[in-house]
Amino acid sequence: MSDMTATSASVGTLPDQFIEQARRRPTAPALLWHDERISYGDLQEMVYGAHLYLEQLALPEEPVGILAKKSPQAISLILACMMDRRSILLPSVDLGSDTLQRLFQQAGCRQVFSLSTTSPRNLRCEVVDAAPAEDRSRPHPPGATEAELMLTTSGSTGIPKIVPLLLPEIDHFTDWAGARFNINDGTTVLSYAPLNFDLCLLDIWTTLKRGGCVALVDQDRATSARYLVDLLTTHKVHVVQAVPMLYRLLIDAAQDGNHHFESVLHVIVTGDSIPFCTLEALPGLFPRARFYNVYGSTETNDSFIHEIDISCDSARRRIPIGQPIEGVSALVVSSGGYVVEGPGMGELWVATPFQTRGYLTEVLNDSRFVSYRSEVGKRTYFRTGDIVQRHSDGAITLEGRTDSYVKVCGVRISTQAVEQVILEHDEVLEVAVVAVPDDIAGKRLHAVVRRNRAGQLNSLSLRRHCARSLDRAAIPSRIHIVTTPLPKTPTGKIDRQRSLFNQDEEIK
């Protein structure tokens, strides 16, 4: 392993740029965590401490797992591994133990670091032997040792898939994101997503590479509106990127306390569709900000961006995913396998300069990564599984997922398209539509809908709304209207199955 001051990484890479920031501006703030202000100099010390610790362990040159919630210690450990060009698998801490074990084995991680909760200041790692005895001699999977960072997909449709990212792709993305959202020294960026989430490539890693300051949201307090309001108020944040849930929490809290956040200049909405009543309240909350809808996936990273024009987008009741980011090539492919030119509907295929070179488990790549020669040359496209509509003005809107289609009374219906229609109602804050088996209809749709507390919405008025846009079979058979927030996954997306389960339990 290399010495951290004479890293083998080329000039301009994320770890090198971090070191350069710490050398030039050691007293500048790098991280804000609870009441602590950690400067670039402090963080470099922590990284150096982690580096020495790793050296003492004399680990072989192989990937390691890091199982940690977001904290300065976890960030310094990741940076230390990056300095050493050691591959890291960074899964969600909320995954089940069997799934974690399987992921660590797939990545060839025989050592897993989890941060000691008893000594928050000093980095101490518990080394967990992840591999059973019979696996110790197994070679590392190809791609695992070359990757800088291995993230995982959310696993909402099965076991999470490992997505290796190499330094050139990470650097390409962080350079784009920094320039696009003007992240430089003097910029404070809120980091809301958990550490394992791809959004951190912007929140944390772009910011540290470019000398900005990251205001870290404690994952354990991510749903506390008062904590979030305090954090944004105290730290004068300039850039916020989050799933719609954060904005809803802030809007609800702001109604009580008449808060608004003057310092925020860029608001990025990502990860999920934002309801219109949330969107329309954003300018009041962030009076000086520009608003963006950003579309991407762990596999490709950000690929489309749309600058939101609140009045224009509200009028059309649909927020487009926007235009491909510079260097991104996108295709709309019909169900028959033809590339759709001009207006039309199909699956979105995307090739980005930031994308992974494929899942770690190669057998998974065949159906998802496809080589195609377009007018820009031959590139590897990622089949997103998202069904999109390209409109006559070139705007692209999400219509559903290839895997969200169900048959109800013989009619093919996208549960996401149903959710989208329900979200277009003014009083709807959140929605989960789930297909449940039915002897007669094949499937029936159940919807759990969170409405505005002050509103009058009931299932009858919502049915009237749905009937204007949806096929009859697509109107949910059961509609539960609630006023409490729907359960969320660790990444802040709506947990559909649990939303329905909670309602069923209540009825019992």
Partner 1 sequence: MTDHTRTIKEFIVKEFMPDVPVKQLETDYDLLAGGVIDSLGLLRAILWLEDTFQIPLHDAEITPETFRSVKAIDAFIEQMHHRVNAT
- Burial label, 74 (beta-carbon count in 10 A; 0-12, 13-18, 19+): buried
- Number of C-alpha atoms within 13 angstroms, CB side, residue 491? 19
Q: Residues with Cβ < 8 Å from 203, sequence gap 6 or more?
A: 189, 190, 191, 192, 193, 214, 241
At its nearest, how many Å lie between partner 1 and the CB of residue 415? Answer: 14
In the bound state with partner 1, the residue whose beta carbon lies nearer, of 375 and 506, is 506
Binding segment toward partner 1, per CB under 8 A, in 85-93, 234-242, 334-342, 435-443: 435-443
Whole-number Cα distances in Å, 12 to 20, 45, 203, 326, 353 = 9, 21, 19, 20, 17
In the bound state with partner 1, the residue whose beta carbon lies nearer, of 245 and 449, is 449
Pairing of strands 188-191, 213-216: parallel
Binding segment toward partner 1, per CB under 8 A, in 123-131, 294-302, 328-336, 457-465: 457-465
Binding segment toward partner 1, per CB under 8 A, in 2-10, 66-74, 98-106, 459-467: 459-467
- Rounded CA separation 463/64 (Å): 52
Interface residue with partner 1 among 441, 455, 469, 490 (CB under 8 A) is: 441
Beta strands of 391-473 (E only): which ranges? 396-401, 405-408, 411-414, 428-438, 442-451
Closest CA to 123 of 54, 218, 60, 206: 54
Please identify which residue in the block is written with the tokens 């999109």. Answer: 388
Interface residue with partner 1 among 232, 466, 486, 500 (CB under 8 A) is: 466
Pairing of strands 29-33, 36-39: antiparallel
Residue 138 lies near partner 1 (rule: CB under 8 A): no
Residue 453 lies near partner 1 (rule: CB under 8 A): no
Answer yes or no: are the C-beta atoms of 172 and 354 closer than 8 Å.
Answer: yes
At its nearest, how many Å lie between partner 1 and the CB of residue 502? Answer: 16
In the bound state with partner 1, the residue whose beta carbon lies nearer, of 317 and 464, is 464
Within residues 372-391, the interface with partner 1 by CB under 8 A covers none
Interface residue with partner 1 among 8, 458, 483, 497 (CB under 8 A) is: 458
Closest CA to 90 of 118, 60, 116, 70: 70
Binding segment toward partner 1, per CB under 8 A, in 17-25, 363-371, 440-448, 495-503: 440-448
In the bound state with partner 1, the residue whose beta carbon lies nearer, of 115 and 466, is 466
Binding segment toward partner 1, per CB under 8 A, in 66-74, 201-209, 387-395, 437-445: 437-445
At its nearest, how many Å lie between partner 1 and the CB of residue 432? Answer: 17
> Cβ of 60: how many Cβ atoms within 10 Å?
9
- Rounded CA separation 123/213 (Å): 21
Whole-number Cα distances in Å, 182 to 176, 202, 242, 245 = 10, 12, 17, 24
In the bound state with partner 1, the residue whose beta carbon lies nearer, of 389 and 416, is 416
Binding segment toward partner 1, per CB under 8 A, in 7-15, 245-253, 315-323, 469-477: 469-477
Interface residue with partner 1 among 472, 483, 497, 504 (CB under 8 A) is: 472
In the bound state with partner 1, the residue whose beta carbon lies nearer, of 330 and 475, is 475
At its nearest, how many Å lie between partner 1 and the CB of residue 80? Answer: 55
Residue 460 lies near partner 1 (rule: CB under 8 A): yes
Residue 440 lies near partner 1 (rule: CB under 8 A): yes
Residue 464 lies near partner 1 (rule: CB under 8 A): yes
Binding segment toward partner 1, per CB under 8 A, in 29-37, 285-293, 381-389, 467-475: 467-475
The contact mask relative to partner 1 for 403-422 (x = CB under 8 A, - = no) is ------x-------------
Burial track 78-88 (b if 16+ CB lie within 10 A, e otherwise): bbbbbbbbbbb
Interface residue with partner 1 among 101, 374, 477, 502 (CB under 8 A) is: 477
In the bound state with partner 1, the residue whose beta carbon lies nearer, of 82 and 479, is 479
Backbone angles phi, psi at 436, to 5 degrees: -120, 150
At its nearest, how many Å lie between partner 1 and the CB of residue 364? Answer: 38
Residue 467 lies near partner 1 (rule: CB under 8 A): yes
Interface residue with partner 1 among 225, 448, 479, 500 (CB under 8 A) is: 479
Residue 454 lies near partner 1 (rule: CB under 8 A): no
Interface residue with partner 1 among 34, 463, 483, 497 (CB under 8 A) is: 463
End-to-end Cα distance, the chain: 59
Residue 179 lies near partner 1 (rule: CB under 8 A): no
- Rounded CA separation 507/391 (Å): 43
Answer yes or no: are the C-beta atoms of 302 and 294 closer than 8 Å.
Answer: yes
Backbone angles phi, psi at 77, to 5 degrees: -65, -40
At its nearest, how many Å lie between partner 1 and the CB of residue 422? Answer: 12
Pairing of strands 266-270, 239-242: parallel
- Rounded CA separation 264/324 (Å): 25
Residue 476 lies near partner 1 (rule: CB under 8 A): yes
Q: Which residues bind partner 1 (CB under 8 A)?
A: 409, 438, 440-441, 444, 458-460, 463-464, 466-467, 472-477, 479, 481
